[in-house]
Amino acid sequence: MAEKKVSCDCGKVIRESTDDQLVNAVQKHAREAHNMKLTREQVLAMSEPV
């Protein structure tokens, strides 16, 4: 599987090698840094190949 990334508006870039790892990392960042709850579908829609 190809590595994917999500670039947050705050400047943080999260890169992971699997969808599950990416979703978990982005959801954690959104919750802890921005008090936001994102679904798996939202995270994957924001992701792009590295």
CA-wise closest residue to 4 among 18, 30, 12, 40: 18
pLDDT digits (tens, 9 = 90+) for 1-50: 689 999 999 999 999 999 999 999 999 999 999 999 999 999 999 999 99
Residue 1: predicted pLDDT? 64
Residues 6+ apart with CB under 8 A from 23: 40, 43, 44
Residue 2: predicted pLDDT? 86
DSSP 18: S
What values do phi and psi take at 6, rounded to 5? -130, 130
Residue 42: predicted pLDDT? 98
